[in-house]
Amino acid sequence: MFWNGGCGGRLDPIETHCVDDAVTIDDAAHEGRIVRLRYSAQCRAAWAQLWFGKPDDRAYVRTEENGHLVAATSVTVMPWDGNSVYTPMVNDKNLKAKACMELPPDSDTACTISY
């Protein structure tokens, strides 16, 4: 399935099989958690994946064009999620994407590079 831009933020990388060709662009680690920027060339989409998350941790992915926010999606870890969650995808065609995590209670933040 190729990204059509019409479902912004609602597409699941597993259900759409975008995960099939996905690569990890970069990781950022903080306090034992890891956030990854994942990218699918076939779908031209990006998403954030958070590993070793704890309840209330938040991961998000955002895309920018010329320094201006184009799209963002996020996910908050719930007690029943286990230790890995991922955001819905964002369109990455001709845009720069970055994945971040925010950790409570002080909202410490760690981010990947922009790609």
pTM passes above 0.85: yes
Question: Quick one: which of 67, 63, 68, 72 has its CA closest to 95?
Answer: 63
> CA-CA distance, 110 to 71, in Å (whole number)?
19
**Per residue in 51-88, pLDDT tens?**
999 999 999 999 999 989 999 999 999 988 888 899 99
**Per residue in 4-14, pLDDT tens?**
444 445 589 99
State yes or no: pLDDT of 93 exceeds 50. Answer: yes
Q: What is the mean pLDDT of residues 95-100?
A: 96
Higher pLDDT, 80 or 23: 23
CB 27 within 8 A of CB 39: no
Which whole-number Å values give the CA distances from 86 to 22, 47, 66, 67, 99, in the listed order? Answer: 13, 7, 26, 24, 10
> CA-CA distance, 98 to 38, in Å (whole number)?
9
Residue length of the chain: 115
